Amino acid sequence: MSERSKYAMRYTVIAVSAVAISVAVGALILHSHNQKAWRADALAGKVALSQTQLESLVRQESLTAYWAGPRPGYLYSIDATAKDRIFLQYIQEDKNTSNVIANSRVIATYISKDGFSRTVAAATRSGNAGFRNPNGSVVFYDKNRNTDVYLAFPGEEVQIEIFDPLAGQALSLAILQDQINKIGA
C-alpha cells in the first residue's frame, strides 16, 4: 500500500470517527435535554406517570408527598411546582381525560412545621367535624362537605388534604389506619 493510500485511509478513519463521535455526543445532549424537559413537565403535573415512574421521581427529587397507595387501572400526575405544596392526582387510564381530571382523587401534601397543630385547631372549629385516630393522627372536615378531608400525623411537618369525588371515600381513607402514606415509604 502506498504512502498516499495509507494517508487517505487514516484520514477516512479519522473523519468517520469524528462524525461518529459528533453524532453520539449530539444524541447524548438531545437525550439529556429531553430528560430535563420530561422531568420538568412531570413535576408540573403535565405527565401521566406509572407507579414506578411516580415513586422514582419522588425519590430522585427528595419530595415529601403522601398518597393512598396504588390503584389498579390508574396513572398518576404530580404537581410539585410550589415549594410547600405537592398535589398528586389519580387518573383512570381508560376514561376521557377532561371528565377524569375533574372527577378524580387528589391528595395534597402541604409542608408546614405547624401542620399537626393547625389540623388540631381546625378540628375543633364550629362547622367542622374532627377526631383523633388510634394511631394519633388527627382528621377534620367541613360537616357540609365530606368529599374533602384533612389529616395530620403527630411528629410530621405536613397537613394532608384528601379529595375524592365519591362522598365518604376521602373520610374512609383518613379513618382507616395505614391508608395514607408517604410515597416510597
- Of 21-25, 39-43, 71-75, the one with minimum mean pLDDT is 21-25
Of residues 157, 159, 135, the one with CA closest to residue 148:
159
Whether 96 and 114 map to the same domain: the answer is yes
Domain hosting 12: range is 1-43
Whether 23 and 67 map to the same domain: the answer is no
Whether 150 and 102 map to the same domain: the answer is yes
pLDDT digits (tens, 9 = 90+) for 43-65: 999 999 999 999 999 999 999 99
pLDDT score for 17: 43
Whether 86 and 72 map to the same domain: the answer is yes
Bridge partners for 78 per DSSP:
88
- Counting the structural domains of the chain, the total is 2
Q: Are 163 and 170 in contact (CB under 8 A)?
A: yes
pLDDT(100) > 70: no
Scanning the structure block, which residue is given the C-alpha cell 396504588?
70
Q: Are 129 and 144 in contact (CB under 8 A)?
A: no
Whether 154 and 72 map to the same domain: the answer is yes
pLDDT score for 19: 42
Q: Strands 138-142 and 128-132: what pairing?
A: antiparallel
Cα–Cα distance list, 88 to 47, 95, 129, 131 (Å) = 12, 18, 25, 25
pTM: 0.79
pLDDT score for 178: 83
Signed CA dihedral, 48, 54, 56, 60: sign only: positive
- 16: cell is 468517520
d(Cα 49, Cα 90) in Å, to the nearest integer? 10
* Mean pLDDT, residues 77-102 taken together: 82
pLDDT score for 25: 41
Whether 36 and 56 map to the same domain: the answer is no
Question: In 3-state terms, the chain is what percent helix, strand and coil (to 5)?
Answer: 40, 25, 35
pLDDT digits (tens, 9 = 90+) for 120-176: 999 999 999 999 999 999 999 999 887 999 999 999 999 999 999 998 999 999 998
Bridge partners for 79 per DSSP:
44, 87
Q: Are 106 and 122 in contact (CB under 8 A)?
A: no
Whether 30 and 70 map to the same domain: the answer is no
78: left (phi over 0), alpha (psi -120 to 50) or beta: beta
- pLDDT interval class at 13 (50, 70, 90): very low
pLDDT score for 113: 92
pLDDT score for 145: 85
Amino acid making up residue 182? K
